[in-house]
Structure 1
Amino acid sequence: MLNWEDRRLMVKVAKLYYFDGWTQQQIANKHNVSRPVISKLLNTAKKEGIVEIYIKDETSHTVDLEQQLEKKYGLNEVIVVSTAGFAPEMAKRQLGQTAASYVSKSLTNIKSLGISWGSTLLSLVEEYPYERRSDIHIVPIVGGMGSDYVYLHSNQLSFNLAQKMNASCSYLYAPAMVESQDLRERLVSSKDIAFVLEEGRNVDMAVVGLGNPYKSSTMEKIGYLDEQDLASLRKAGVVGDISSKFFDAVGEEVDHPLNNQVIGLTLDEIRKIPKVIGIVEGSYKLESIEAALQGGYLNVLITDDRTAQELVED
């Protein structure tokens, strides 16, 4: 039990330290004791409830979610964006802004950056700041051609991001998905396509989106998937896709004809990229995100607070 004098000293030391900004050494000099004595007094003050420390800021909740998800899934970093009260388009824009800022700050020692395709990555590119990164080369890691929704395709995103960065880029002159495995094999063995795919395998960092093929699917919207395909994917246990490659509930790439018609990196090749940043929002993608994290495809996850909350609770 602390006596009155001990408590008084603790309060005095705590006020100097927490309110007046004194260092522990300055307080020790004032009271003619050693610095470890002051450190011990401050620790005891916390244990005894004389001092309570809490962070009063709206980001405190998102930081908690980030730490819990990093621990739960063994991720290097999680960034949770607060989108409460935002309309869907604004939420996506907010996520794009955060992702753009994160990627821009993560480019030290990065010589090549891989990019997939989709509406979330479009937000990242649209929100990306203009800067000079002429030492960086951008590589599409999945095919991207067609006359519809061109702005979502990887080649277009590569080009637009390269313009924002003042960087160079490659083009993968092939659709994301072709009609047959035979056609895919002929295309990927052609010199130009093989070269860009090899560049993709060797990028230092990649940014990818994550899809749920059954809900708000860009692949269905563009016309790569029809009702029959979706029924077939469901039967095969598919829960999500990265770069148009489908995986099951434990994150394994499924043995399905559609996976053999995609021109792009395999999931195993994506997993081997040193740093993969997944940008995804919407709790309807919850099962897809969990499976991708179990599959070990991402090192960094950028998502919205509602999705993060559900990932923590699941």
Structure 2
Amino acid sequence: MRESDQTIHRAAWLYYTHNLRQEEVARVLNISRASVAGYLRKARERGVVTVSTSTELFRQSALARQLEDRLGLATVWIVPDDSSFPPAMEIPFVAANAFLSLIGPGTRIAVAWGRTVYHIADAMETADLKGVTVSQICGNLGAPYDYRPDQCTMEIARRLNAEGINLYAPLVLSSEDLAGALRHEDVVDRQLASIATCDIVLYSVGGVEADSHIVSCGALPAEDLPELHRQGATGVIGGQLIDRGGLWMDCPYNRRVISADLDDVKRIPIRFMVVIENEKHDALNAALRGGFATHLVISEELGKRLLAG
């Protein structure tokens, strides 16, 4: 993308996505207000201003192309370290706009949970898409915890004027027998099985550390971590532990979880993964090895670490 075209996209991104005034855009880009007005006019004329406003800007880097080739991904969006806003603030906006560009009337969406997914929902523009469903892929957490699966599902459904389908079951049961029995209940079994028929899944990958969501929410006891690490636990997908190779772990914790079968998740054609924290490098690597992403939104720093191996 030529430098002049980049400026057009950046101006449109700041003005339409971040709602900056023209004079604020001018200060960020170090150009005149008159130039901003001209760039915005060109953006409208070229069709840059759409539901996926200027996300093309984040797809055009050499790093994105290299990662697509190296990892076999359909599309990578890279938020540069020198972006107008810190990557942690910018990534949810990029992800929300890119996600909207991939859905349409009748799309069946699966959604996981966590801070990243909720921030994407919060950054998402409203849309009125006919026949869209948004399904929760894993059981729920206790009321005091923020960014619960049901919250993430219903907020995205609200933004899209879609039907939200919650999974009315706990994420983790007290015993394997109880979890097995609940999975075989008709309403739970049908909803979990339906995840494989979705068109797109929106999620992140969690870490397996003492300060990770799965521990802080009480789902996984911190005292279990040393043994799980010894067994190779590296990431969390839909509340379930995966090992370094991206494989589901056959462990007591996973056998007590109510969540979609990870093989069913991998049958979803578009697996839209978003990672904000650079510290999740190992967890993301595991998710990529396991085939959990076809589309990826990350920071430049994390992209460089992935490319370096």
TM-score > 0.5 by shorter chain:
yes
| Partner in structure 1 of residue 135 of structure 2 | 139
Q: Percent identity?
A: 24
Q: How does 1:87-166 map to 2 (within 5 A)?
A: 91-108=87-104, 111-149=107-145, 151-166=146-161
Distance 1:246 1:66, change over 3 A: same
**Any conservation in 1 of the 2:59–2:78 contact (CA below 8 Å)?**
no
Contact 2:210 2:222 in 1 (8 A): no
What is the root-mean-square deviation in Å for CA atoms of aligned residues? 2.0
- C-alpha distance in 1, partners of 2:210/2:297? 20
Q: Using the TM superposition, give the Cα deviation of residue 69 of structure 1 relative to its aligned residue in structure 2, in angstroms.
A: 0.6
Could you say which residue in structure 2 is the equivalent of 1:77?
A: 75
Deviation of 1:283 after TM superposition, in Å, equals 2.2
Which letter maps to 2:79? V
The residue aligned with 1:185 is 180
| Equivalent residue number for residue 261 of structure 2 | 266
Q: Secondary structure at the match of 2:61?
A: helix
Listed one character per residue, the Cα deviations across residues 48-97 of structure 1 (whole Å, up to 9, x for unaligned) are: xxxxxxxxxxx68971111111011101111111244889xx64331111
Q: Is the 8 A contact 1:243 1:264 kept in 2?
A: yes
In 1, are the aligned partners of 2:108 and 2:133 still within 8 Å (CA)? yes
SS in 2 for 1:247: strand
Check whether the contact 1:250–1:291 (CA below 8 A) recurs between aligned residues: yes
Is 2:261 the counterpart of 1:236?
no
Q: Distance in 2 between matches of 1:102 and 1:251?
A: 25
Give the superposition deviation at 1:282: 2.0
After TM superposition, what 4+ stretches of structure 1 lie above 4 angstroms from structure 2? Answer: 59-62, 83-87
| Contact in 1 for aligned 2:127/2:161 (Cα 8 Å) | yes
What's the CA shift for 1:307? 0.6
Q: Deviations over 1:210-269 (max 9, x none)?
A: 011116411111111222221121121111111111111111112211111111112212
**What's the TM-score once normalised by structure 1's chain length?**
0.76
Contact 1:110 1:204 in 2 (8 A): no
Question: What is the letter of the counterpart of residue 203 of structure 1?
Answer: C
Question: Equivalent residue for 2:190?
Answer: 195
- CA distance in structure 2 between the aligned counterparts of 1:177 and 1:111, rounded to whole angstroms: 29
Contact 1:236 1:256 in 2 (8 A): no
3-state SS of paired residue (1:152):
coil
Give 1:208 deviation, angstroms: 1.1
Provide structure 1 residue ranges, at least 5 long, that are not aligned to the other structure: 1-58
Provide the rounded CA distance (Å) in 2 between the counterparts of 1:162 and 1:101.
Answer: 15
The reply to whether residue 278 of structure 1 matches residue 276 of structure 2 is no
Could you say which residue in structure 1 is the equivalent of 2:36?
A: none
| Residues 80 and 308, structure 1, Cα contact 8 Å, conserved in 2 | yes
Q: How many residues align?
A: 253
Larger Rg, first or second structure (1 or 2): 1
Calculate the TM-score normalised by the size of structure 2.
Answer: 0.77
Rate the CA distance shift 1:267–1:61 in 2: closer, same or farther, 3 A: closer
The correspondence of residues 248-267 of structure 1 with structure 2, limited to 5 A, is 248-267=243-262
> Which amino acid counterpart does residue 248 of structure 1 have in structure 2?
D
Please give the alpha-carbon distance, in whole angstroms, between the structure 1 residues aligned to 2:189 and 2:96: 29
Unmatched tracts of structure 2, length 5 or more: 1-56
Equivalent pair of 1:143/1:173 in contact (CA under 8 Å): yes
